[in-house]
Chains A and B, each alone.
Chain A
Amino acid sequence: MNALVMDPLSWTDVGAVTDIPLRGARRVPTPAGVIAIFRTGDGKLFALKDACPHKGGPLSQGIVHGHAVACPLHNWSIDLATGHPLGADRGKGCTPVVPLEVRDGRILLGRA
């Protein structure tokens, strides 16, 4: 009955949805590296490891457009939903996706 009980992940509340600007991103440091949380123009949220599959550029610092982010170092475009590079760089590696849920306007990050 209670979704939390059945949850395979443990969730951490890292802030409110509105703490992230539209078409922007914020960072959440963890012992395993920084997690980037993106809020797209249509208000959707995505979480990825904050590292481009190309040279590890911090994706949280890129320009968010549609459901993609342009890496600030070399302008690779990364699909926020899958972590895969788009366009000409398709198929060249992948950035890990981090489980994210929104409940009552709060952002929860999952740890497997």
Chain B
Amino acid sequence: MTKERLVVIGNGMAGCRAVQEVLKRDPDRYEITIFGAEPRVNYDRIMLSPVLAGEKAFADIVINDEAWYSDNGIALHAGHAVQAIDREARVVRAEGGIEAPYDRLILATGSDPIRLPLPGADQAGVVTFRDLDDVEAMIAAAATPGAKAVVIGGGLLGIEAAYGLVRRGMAATVVHLMDVLMERQLDASASFLLTDALTDRGVETVLGAQSEEIEGADGRVTGLRLKDGQVLPCDLLVMAVGIRPNAALARAAGLEVGRGVIVDDDMRTSDPRILAVGECVEHRGQCYGLVAPIWEMCRAVGGTLTDGAQAYEGSVLSTRLKVSGVDVFSAGKFSGGEGCEDIVFRDAGRGVYKRVVLEAGRVAGAVLFGDAADGAWYFDLMRSGAEVGDIRETLIFGQTVTEGLRGLDPSAAVAAMADQAEVCGCNGVCKGTITGAIASEGLTTLESVRAVTKASASCGSCTPLVEKLLKLTLGDGFQAQTGPKPVCGCTHHGHDEARRRILAEGLKSIPAVMQALEWTTPDGCASCRPALNYYLICAWPGDYRDDKQSRFINERAHANIQKDGTFSVVPRMWGGMTSSDELRAIADVVDKFAIPAVKVTGGQRIDLLGVKKDDLPAVWADLNAAGMVSGHAYAKGLRTVKTCVGSEWCRFGTQDSTGLGVRLEKFMWGSWTPAKVKLGVSGCPRNCAEATCKDIGVVCVDSGYEIHIGGAAGLHIQGTEILTKVATEEEAVWTICAVTQLYREEGWYLERIYKWMARVGLDSIKARIENPDDRRALHDRFAYSQRFSRVDPWAERVAGRHAEEFNPLSRRMEFA
């Protein structure tokens, strides 16, 4: 009996694996012919990255050598691209006049790398990252000393390409359209860590960058120009922006093709004699570019062509990045979603971030950075759909910990733990060390265990375990205790600890703080993000880049939101002084923009109410033109300085209170503080400026200036306390700047001065201000910070900054 003829188009991973799956089931059934466009044997394409990086040689990644073809009686036509499929005659026609008749045909044509249609893309030195030829071209380019590469695409492939080039001695920069790397596999926290890890390994990244043109000279690439005009010089440009299923042959043969060759669960195309497998396939609307689903498809092909056993029902995806020393794993719904819960673990010391997403009591996804050892375990749990409710407490610690404790009730599980078992992973503290310390040192509280053993003193995720150990060792003698109030539900750390670590560890971004302090949520919440943003601004003036998405709307829009979604606008009136020109300009603005309400405020300024958000920049432009700047009536920062007319006009005035108020406001405006700061300067003890219920007040007397702090006249009514008395205006300004800075550095976010004062005590504040060295240092830090703060945010926005904040995304749906 003659064998059936099986022809395979594609000598890549899918084509050969499909043949192996057939041979495994029925080695003698088919006479097999394989066509390959590349002139070489079958190799492991996903290992091209290690070849590029010099960690493997081509010989190491060959899957099937020539002996495999001959041993299995397979005819290989390598280097002969198939040109047509004649479905009526059931013949495949290839280059060089080769023809192969078939009874069954497998299409495994793979995919083509996407080449961006940028001007200049046809020049020498522009490559993709797809096959060994590309890798050889890249290695050759890297051989020139001082050569630079730019890789377009911050996905898996682009990162691996850039890393490989750096390993080959090139300077490589990844240019990515999105704001985070590998956005399809990683959440923002993991992506932040990845960006850092790549920087450490010499791979530069430019995020949010749109490529515009590939520049060249004499037909060779010289650089990449971005849309913002920046030019990145390079000798090699790698496009690694994705792949497109190669379905041209199938389409020409009249098979049903969508994005890829459409197949059913048996991997059959619209012609039942023809199967398709691998990256060229579209199955249930899905195309795949990873290896695991391809192996699963190959099993189904093997079944269909032999015993008919195995249908393919689509794949659940997981990803690993192949960059040495950067352990990354991602699978499933790694970023959560509706009805999902997150369990997050961070270990700043080891640079580890893990996030497991649960849905209906089952693992729905995971993203791991820095320690991906448990990736396979989470992936198994996810695919099996196992209930994880009973292992939830330890799930995030991985398989070893969880399975060690399985089936025991929590207390018994803790009791059963070996003394050598590690409880605190951050500080490497074993159970025996903790129970020993509890017994020998007579510890009774969590805080004391932390102080003595350091267990649970870092990320705090082992706190429940340590508490159980206390309970177990002490019995009823243990009382759960509360530490400092955490910033919010995203962290165990209090405000002071967060601020201390920002300075001590040089943390300069919100993601850096969240990682170092082991935040338990991926990107914080509406409580902690504004707090951290302020702490960073205060800690690193001039250095920290303000994160506007971590600001409340009023500070983002530089106006106050009202109940109907409109805004109010309050221009600054220095010390409450104004002029006919300013008033005329305000009146004109009110008319021009049909502003519905104008009100005099308690802080001696004028409030324009009911301004539409879209109008804000134009309103500000007109106010700017008349010399007015933002009054920061919306800010956790310096608001007004209320004054009386003082010695300039008043028959009782002792000092120039208006002049001092204007001077203070002109020096202090624009400063950010933990909560709003209102000042008042009264020219005599009759106190017409109501300085004794302000955050900071000055009451002028004949002999000088009384400086008051800690007043409030809002939710709480509270008179000020006297901080100190000084003789000159100069000293008054110095003292007020110094105490403001002390409050900026010590106050918790949203904590008004009177609350800060109640917490730390007036005496401690006095001690700092009365010490001349302290006072000078505080004043100087304030003055330094002000160099970056006295910028009118309105003028910046009139000039076009953050225009997207004020314009609708689109007006295409406005009518219709």
Interfacial residues, chain A to chain B (CB-CB below 8 A): 1, 12-15, 18-24, 26-31, 34-35, 37, 40-44, 55-58, 61-67, 70, 72-73, 75, 77, 79, 81-82, 105, 107, 109, 111
Contact = CB atoms under 8 A, between A and B. Distances in A.
A91 B177 CA distance: 39
A28 B813 contact: yes
A66 B526 contact: no
Contacts of B295: none
6 contacts: A12-B810, A23-B549, A65-B521, A65-B525, A77-B526, A82-B338
A27 B335 contact: no
Contacts of A37: 809
Given A31-B814, A41-B522, A43-B183, A73 B809 contact: no
Contacts of B814: 29-31
B180 A43 contact: yes
B139 to A, nearest CB: 32
A66 B528 CA distance: 13
Contacts of A34: 808
Interface string B547-574: 0111111101100010101000000000
B258 interface: yes
A37 B336 CA distance: 18
> Which 10 residue pairs spanning A and B have beta carbons closest together?
A70-B526, A81-B338, A26-B809, A42-B335, A14-B810, A41-B523, A23-B549, A41-B188, A61-B553, A63-B526
Contacts of A13: 810, 812
B525 A66 contact: yes
A33 to B, nearest CB: 11
Interface of B: 177-180, 183, 187-188, 208, 210, 256, 258, 335-338, 342, 521-526, 529-530, 548-554, 556-557, 561, 563, 565, 804, 808-816
A37 B557 CA distance: 17
Contacts of B178: 18, 43
Nearest to A72: B553
B284 to A, nearest CB: 13
B526 A67 contact: no
A58 B566 CA distance: 9
A100 to B, nearest CB: 12
Contacts of B338: 67, 79, 81-82
B287 to A, nearest CB: 14
B184 to A, nearest CB: 8
A63 B532 CA distance: 14
B563 A42 contact: no
Given A21-B549, A77-B526, A79-B338, A109 B813 contact: yes
Nearest to B557: A61
Contacts of B521: 65-66
Contacts of B554: 72
Nearest to A26: B809
User: Which of B188, B256, B549, B561 gathers most chain A CB within 10 Å?
Assistant: B549
B809 A19 contact: yes
Given A23-B549, A73-B561, A79-B338, A65 B526 contact: yes
B813 A20 contact: no
A65 B440 CA distance: 45
B549 A22 contact: yes
B161 to A, nearest CB: 21
Contacts of A111: 813
B542 to A, nearest CB: 23
Given A41-B187, A81-B338, A82-B338, A64 B809 contact: no
A75 B526 contact: yes
User: Which of A15, A66, A72 gathers most chain B CB within 10 Å?
Assistant: A66
Nearest to B256: A1
B97 to A, nearest CB: 35
Given A19-B804, A29-B814, A73 B563 contact: yes
B565 A35 contact: no
User: Which of A43, A73, A77, A82 gathers most chain B CB within 10 Å?
Assistant: A43
Given A30-B813, A72-B553, A81 B563 contact: no
Contacts of A1: 256, 258
Contact of A31 (B561, B809, B816): B816
Contacts of B180: 22, 43
Given A41-B188, A55-B563, A27 B809 contact: yes
A42 B813 contact: no
Contact of A72 (B342, B522, B552): B552
Nearest to B554: A72
Contacts of B816: 31
B804 A63 contact: no
Given A42-B335, A57-B565, A63-B549, 10 more contacts: A12-B813, A14-B809, A20-B804, A21-B804, A22-B179, A26-B809, A30-B814, A65-B526, A67-B338, A107-B809
Contacts of B522: 41-42, 66
Contacts of A107: 809
A55 B49 CA distance: 55
Nearest to B811: A29
A24 to B, nearest CB: 5
Contacts of A56: 565
A67 B553 CA distance: 18
Contact of A15 (B179, B337, B557, B810): B810
B549 A64 contact: yes
Nearest to B342: A66
A24 B804 CA distance: 10
Contacts of A65: 521, 523-526, 529
A42 B188 contact: yes
Nearest to A87: B489
Contacts of B523: 23, 41, 65-66
A40 B811 CA distance: 22
A48 B586 CA distance: 36
A22 B808 contact: no
Nearest to B177: A18
A55 to B, nearest CB: 7
Given A30-B814, A61-B557, A63-B549, A42 B565 contact: no
A27 B816 CA distance: 17
B491 to A, nearest CB: 13
A56 B565 CA distance: 9
Nearest to A31: B815
Nearest to B334: A42
Nearest to B530: A63
Contacts of B565: 56-58, 61
Nearest to A3: B285
A40 B336 CA distance: 11
B813 to A, nearest CB: 4
A19 B89 CA distance: 53
A65 B548 CA distance: 13
